[in-house]
Amino acid sequence: MNIELFDMAIPFLFFVSTVAIGVSFILAWQQSKMNVKIRLQDNRLVDMQESPGKQGFDFIGLLAQIGNFVLHGSSSKTLNGQLLRAGFAGTAAPAIYSGAKVLLFILGVVVAALLIPSGPKTPNKAAIMAVAGTVLFFLPNFFVLLHLNKRKEEIRRHLPEAIDLLEVCVSSGIGLDMAWRIVSEEIGKVSRILSDAMSLVNFEINLGANRIDAMQHMAERTGVEALNSLSTILIQTEKFGTSIAETLKIFANSIREERNFVAEESTEKMAVKLIIPMVLFIFPSVIVIVAGPALITLFNTKFGSV
């Protein structure tokens, strides 16, 4: 019974994996189209619930409708913050996210019900359906977490260069606000994510927000602790009247040292992480190669007369 159930589970798991990968690519493609649309409209709000009669079937619009029905038109601040840090800044992002989770759960249950036959040989069909729906239900969580870590890593990688450019501009006599604007444009050649985050600071300042508050908002939107430290350093610089250029130079060097320390720590952990694949894959092969001939000789010597 267990062998037959295992044989039926293999194609089902393969199908679930294929669907999960396909949905991930669809969501990534739709998000890239959304980002292009936002940039072409010069930072104006984009209506993600367009009329389906204009462009045919709107898959994102369907997800938004399902999500709005589940969320009842409201979402938690935690969800909004997580999606914002992952780069999903649209007003309908929470609804699309919730709609995708619901739709994937239903898809997993339906596919499991169709692929696994009913009968005495499959007494756990309901449990398998629940597991399949749960696995696909948490797929958007993994997708958002992947985007979140990717954005954080890119910002951490290019932030020291941006601070160096900021320090050069300030040292040449340019004001901090203008220097920030210049750096946000120049850094876009290597990191669009960091450039967009810095451009939003300029946008908030133009609307009348305080510079420090705008930078703290950027740290909250990105989830990068170094940006929060940068805003704190600038507050202390303005309070005590110290040199902004020298402070930025020291801060950039400290970020580089921290990045090098993290790289060295990851290198040291690599030996520990390699133990598991070595024990599971390499060590058994070595045992077979080394001890195999001796075991064959021993077996022939002991049971050769049988």
Task: Return the minimum-mean-pLDDT range out of 33-42, 204-213, 285-294.
Answer: 33-42
pLDDT at 54: 44
Cβ-Cβ contacts under 8 Å for 100 (sequence gap 6 or more): 23, 27, 63, 67, 140
Residue with token string 């038109």: 73
Query: What does the pLDDT read at residue 81?
Result: 83
Mean per-residue pLDDT, 90-102: 84
Please say whether the beta carbons of 85 and 221 come within 8 A: yes
The more confident residue out of 165 and 62 is 165
Instruction: Give 75's pLDDT tier (boundaries 50, 70, 90).
Output: low
pLDDT at position 216: 84
Which of 29-43, 161-175, 179-193 shows the lowest mean pLDDT across its residues? 29-43
Give the start-to-end residue ranges of the domains of the chain. Answer: 2-35+46-137, 154-270
pTM for the structure as a whole: 0.65
Specify the pLDDT at position 20.
Answer: 62
Least confident of 1-5, 9-13, 211-215: 1-5
In tens, the pLDDT along 222-271 reads 888 888 888 888 888 878 888 888 888 888 888 888 888 888 888 888 88
The tokens describing 264, both together, are 């060295």
The region, left, alpha or beta by phi > 0 then psi within -120 to 50, assigned to residue 18 is alpha
**pLDDT, mean of residues 173-186:** 89
Residues 101-138: pLDDT tens digits? 888 899 888 888 888 776 666 667 788 888 888 888 89
User: Is the per-residue pLDDT at 193 higher than 80?
Assistant: yes
- Retrieve residue 161's tokens: 């260069």
Predicted pLDDT at 217: 86
182 pLDDT band (50/70/90 cuts)?
A: very high
Statement: residue 141 has pLDDT above 80: yes
Q: What is the pLDDT of residue 122?
A: 61
Mean pLDDT for the chain overall: 78
Return the pLDDT at 23.
62
Token duo for residue 281: 């894959």
Look up residue 274 and give its amino acid.
Answer: L
* Between 70 and 169, the higher pLDDT residue: 169
Residue 52 pLDDT > 50: no
